[in-house]
């Protein structure tokens, strides 16, 4: 199976070399890698260009955008820019961050999963961060969720869910829509990806309300939003974020923010979320 990788990047000179090096050392190489240099002011573009010279399957695309790093919209707009440069001769499309180190057999294993079952629509490993000299699980989500830092989609699945949404919540709605269309989502605990920069490290303060807005746009409703907000705030070790998340939800509801899903999909998502919560409780 052929796989393409699109890597949005903004001022990643510290990490991008390590990410690309881990990709060119894969046991099964990608057919194409596009790195989107999104308005970087450091040496990101030069580093990518040096890899593109050495490896013909790597290319650099430059994009000019707002320097403010809000979660969701900026990174997916950059992803879309890279996607537009690619043909459709792929079986798997991968969105990857520019601050990762993949184990050498990462994509070989991902391909094996897709080949094992034609109803698997998404597959991925787990993110690990360095703490006190050790690499530990970046435990921000449930273990059946693929982190936004490394998403691999079967082409048919990617097309059916409508690609990636340029808004916070894109890396949750994709999996929920997979479930809606009866695709399977697979996570492999053996695949440990080193995440070199903590999640959200470059977000500004205004973005803290975006999570609550995302919950609204996913069609969660208030009760599910409250439960999800409390869970996420506690996992991040910042209980007061719970208030910010709820504020974001109510602000989005007040202006009737456009949902990321249809009415039928929102109804399915609420039913699915309640089902998952009951399973954990009982």
* Residues of the chain above pLDDT 90, percent: 80
- Report the pLDDT value the prediction gives residue 205, as an integer from 0 to 100: 57
Rounded mean pLDDT of 99-106?
A: 98
Q: In the numeric block, which tokens belong to residue 78? A: 């950059």
What was the pLDDT predicted at 200?
54
Tokens 């919209």 sit at which residue? 73
Task: Write the CB contacts of 103 (distance below 8 Å, at least 6 apart in sequence).
Answer: 22, 125, 191, 192, 193
Angle between helices 222-235 and 241-254 (to 10 degrees): 150
Give the pLDDT score at 46.
97
Q: In angstroms, what CA-CA distances link 146 with 94, 171, 172, 204?
A: 12, 8, 9, 24
**Residues 225, 212: Cα–Cα separation, whole Å:** 7
Examine the pLDDT at 274 and tell me if it is beyond 90: yes
Kindly tell me if the per-residue pLDDT of 74 is higher than 60: yes
pTM of structure: 0.90
Question: pLDDT tens-digit profile of 185-243?
Answer: 999 999 999 999 876 544 455 667 888 999 999 999 999 999 999 998 898 888 999 99
**Cα separation, 72 vs 69, whole angstroms:** 9
Number of Cβ atoms within 10 Å of the Cβ of 108: 13
Tens digits of per-residue pLDDT, 9-53? Answer: 999 999 999 999 999 999 999 999 999 999 899 999 999 999 999
The per-residue pLDDT for 100 is 98
Q: What is the pLDDT of residues 143-155, one digit of tens each?
A: 889 999 999 999 9
Tokens of 200: 């959200």
Gap between the Cα atoms of 151 and 174, Å rounded: 10
User: What is 254-281 written as a DSSP string?
Assistant: HTTPPPSS-HHHHHHHHHHHHHHHHHHH
Rounded CA separation 42/176 (Å): 37
Higher-pLDDT residue of 210, 125? 125
Q: How many CB atoms neighbour CB 139 within 10 A?
A: 13
SS3 content of the chain, % helix, strand, coil (to 5): 40, 20, 35
Average pLDDT across the chain, whole number: 92
Q: How far apart are the C-alpha atoms of 215 and 221, rounded to whole Å? A: 8
Is 69 a residue whose pLDDT tops 60?
no
Give the H/E segment covering residue 124.
strand 120-131
Average the pLDDT over each of 69-78, 157-166, 241-250 and give the range with the smallest value.
69-78
The pLDDT of residue 87 is 96
């Amino acid at each position: 199976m052929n796989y393409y990788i699109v890597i949005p990047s903004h001022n990643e000179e510290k990490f991008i070399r390590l990410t690309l090096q881990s990709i060119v050392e894969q046991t099964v190489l990608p057919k194409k890698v596009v790195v989107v240099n999104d308005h970087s002011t450091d040496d990101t573009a030069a580093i990518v260009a040096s890899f593109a010279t050495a490896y013909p399957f790597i290319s650099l695309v430059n994009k000019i955008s707002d320097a403010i790093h809000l979660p969701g919209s900026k990174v997916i707009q950059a992803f879309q820019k890279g996607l537009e440069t690619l043909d459709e001769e792929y079986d798997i499309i991968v969105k990857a961050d520019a601050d990762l180190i993949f184990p050498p057999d990462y994509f070989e294993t991902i391909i094996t999963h897709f080949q094992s079952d034609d109803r698997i629509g998404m597959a991925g490993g787990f993110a690990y961060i360095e703490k006190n000299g050790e690499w530990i699980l970046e435990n921000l989500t449930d273990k059946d969720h693929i982190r936004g830092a490394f998403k691999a989609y079967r082409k048919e699945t990617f097309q059916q869910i409508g690609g990636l949404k340029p808004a916070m919540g894109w890396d949750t709605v994709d999996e929920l829509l997979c479930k809606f269309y009866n695709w399977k989502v697979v996570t492999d605990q053996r695949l440990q990806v080193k995440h070199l920069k903590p999640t959200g490290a470059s977000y500004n303060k205004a973005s803290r309300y975006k999570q609550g807005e995302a919950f609204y746009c996913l069609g969660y409703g208030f009760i599910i939003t409250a439960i999800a907000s409390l869970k996420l705030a506690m996992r991040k070790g910042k209980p007061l974020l719970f208030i910010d998340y709820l504020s974001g939800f109510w602000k989005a509801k007040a202006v009737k923010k456009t949902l990321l899903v249809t009415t039928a999909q929102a109804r399915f998502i609420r039913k699915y979320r309640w089902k998952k919560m009951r399973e954990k409780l009982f």
